[in-house]
Amino acid sequence: MAVLFGRRRRRPGTEVPRLRSRGDAVSTTKVDLHELAPSTDEFLGQVAQLQLGFFLTLTAAVEGAPTEADRETLAGSAAATLVKYRDLVAAIRRRHDDTEPFLEPFAAQRDDFQAIVRGEDWGQLLLGVYVTRGFLDEFFAEVATGVDAADARELAPIVAPTPGEDPIVGILQRAIAADPKRGSSLAMWGRRLLGDTMLVARSALSTESRVLPDDSRVEPVYTELIANHTRRMDALGLTA
Amino acid sequence: MAVLFGRRRRRPGTEVPRLRSRGDAVSTTKVDLHELAPSTDEFLGQVAQLQLGFFLTLTAAVEGAPTEADRETLAGSAAATLVKYRDLVAAIRRRHDDTEPFLEPFAAQRDDFQAIVRGEDWGQLLLGVYVTRGFLDEFFAEVATGVDAADARELAPIVAPTPGEDPIVGILQRAIAADPKRGSSLAMWGRRLLGDTMLVARSALSTESRVLPDDSRVEPVYTELIANHTRRMDALGLTA
């Protein structure tokens, strides 16, 4: 685990909080993402669609922002997502003249998942993007290391999570400070999203064999991602 | 007129169609945009908001696109608009720590205008963006030459219309070919939009003095823009 995710730690060498005590056992269990990783084509299609979905959702958030400064911040975040989507579609096009057959299969997941992420109001939507994009960007950056070696080198810079703190954090912190009662309901919303996000992540693995990988092999992959999810919620003062 | 707009002609030296015969008289009437141009701050705030509005509308068009290829094209078009918005906000920030007072006054116009542009369905929205953005991008590139000289040099590359044919054209052409009966209603829609677009353009001029410039001085500025509007409609086989 330490090797698998170590390079994205903010402070290498420090102990990463673990949600499960069996995380320690994990470091001796080699998780081979080459066995679990989807084909490069499937990876590109799914991640492109997820990024497009986040772009559309973030743009919806731009419209509802309370100030022009927040609008600019969210537009910038949407732009970063759009760049990823376009880079991924360009990667499909380098492999195939017609991108449609590689994108279309993941269109329904894109829309269904974003319908969940958007929640019922602007606050839920923002937390939704923050939590689910944070998780999935880290997850897919990890999965990208498991596709064919030449492809992995090409894809790594495209799907690398944007460094530094998500600019959405500041907006969410102010929204929660302005209405502290919202904290507990948003905390519950964050927990609910985690489950749906993990289902999306799981759907990306081993789709070629059409056999879902069993839990004991996939869960180690999630352990650090869940710890990072907890840190994300902590940054908002919310209980994960 | 020839001097004023000549550098954006596709084929310099060829005769540009004119809607009004008095266009010939115009070339001897020097239109001095320095007198009509808004302040740099007003220019930046208004154009930034208009670009943000087009970005939001184009993103709404992404959601309704019939194919993934169209979605990609429209997302690319939205991206180009977003770049302009962000560059304009950056230009405001180079001048003022707080951008809010310069953006907020044009927020209502942004939303009111885009509510018109979006029309009643996906086809109207696409034609709306194509026609109104086409007109206003050319208009504001022209107005940019009338602000302070140092500012004009900085702003010209930011607000320059994207070269080449608008990628929306291909999508619209296919939509009209698939449903030829729509042509006449879309032609009417294009004519209606032109009026609203000209009101937005006019609102940009001489706002500092709070006196609307009289028609005889502003109309020459519009003459070539209207000819370009006609060419845009022609490209779709629609009567302007």
pLDDT digits (tens, 9 = 90+) for A120-170: 999 999 999 999 999 999 999 999 988 888 999 999 999 999 888 899 999
The pLDDT assigned to A8 comes to 37
- State which CATH number among 3.40.50.1820, 2.60.40.3080, 3.30.70.100, 1.20.1260.10 fits the domain covering B34-235: 1.20.1260.10
List the single residue in A69, A76, A107 with the smallest CB-CB distance to B86.
Answer: A76
Which of B68, B100, B109 to mutate against chain A (most A CBs within 10 Å)?
A: B68
- Residues in chain A within 8 Å Cβ distance of B79: 79, 82-83, 86
Which residues, 6 or more positions from A148, have their beta carbon under 8 angstroms from its beta carbon?
Answer: A40
pLDDT above 70 (res A227): yes
* Secondary structure (3-state) at A208: coil
Q: Does the ipTM surpass 0.90?
A: no
**Mean pLDDT (whole number) for A206-212:** 51
Mean pLDDT of A191-215: 75
Fold of A31-235: Ferritin (1.20.1260)
Of B197, B162, B207, B155, which is closest to residue B44 (Cα–Cα)?
Answer: B155
Do the Cβ atoms of A89 and B72 come within 8 Å? yes
Cα atoms found within 13 Å of the Cα of residue B108, Cβ hemisphere only: 2
Identify the pLDDT of residue B180.
Answer: 87
pLDDT > 70 in chain B, percent:
80
Smallest CA–CA distance, residue A68 to chain B, in Å, is 6
- Flag whether residue A71 sits within 8 Å of chain B, measured between CB atoms: yes
Place of tokens 């499937």: A42
List pLDDT tens digits, range A79-127: 999 999 999 999 999 999 999 999 999 999 999 999 999 999 999 999 9
Q: How far is it, in rounded angstroms, from Cα B60 to Cα B74?
A: 10
Measured in angstroms, the CA of A180 and the nearest CA of chain B are apart by 26
Q: Is A76 on the interface with B (CB under 8 A)?
A: yes
What distance in Å separates residue B56's CA from the closest CA in chain A?
7
User: Half-sphere exposure (CA, 13 Å, Cβ side) for A13?
Assistant: 1
Q: What are phi and psi of A38, to 5 degrees?
A: -75, 175
- Could you tell me if A75 lies within 8 Å of chain B, comparing CB atoms? yes
Find where tokens 């007072």 sit: B101
pLDDT value of residue A14: 39
| Helical axes A182-203 vs A168-178, angle rounded to 10° | 150
Which DSSP string corresponds to A70-122? HHHHHHHHHHHHHHHHHHHHHHHHHH-S--HHHHGGGHHHHHHHHHHHT-SSH
B54 touches chain A (CB under 8 A): no
A50 burial (CB, 10 Å; 0-12 / 13-18 / 19+) is buried
Of B62, B67, B82, the CB nearest to A79: B82
Amino acid at B55: F
Query: Lowest-confidence range among A31-35, A172-176, A189-193?
Result: A31-35
pLDDT surpassing 70 at residue A172: yes
CB contact under 8 A, A71 and B86: no
- The number of beta carbons lying within 10 Å of the beta carbon of residue B76 is 16
Q: How many CB atoms lie within 10 A of CB B152?
A: 18
240 residues of chain B, pLDDT tens digit each = 333 333 333 333 334 344 444 333 333 344 566 678 889 999 999 999 999 999 999 999 999 999 999 999 999 999 999 999 999 999 999 999 999 999 999 999 999 999 999 999 999 999 999 999 999 999 999 999 888 889 999 999 999 998 888 999 999 999 999 998 899 999 999 999 999 999 899 888 864 444 455 556 667 778 889 999 999 999 999 987
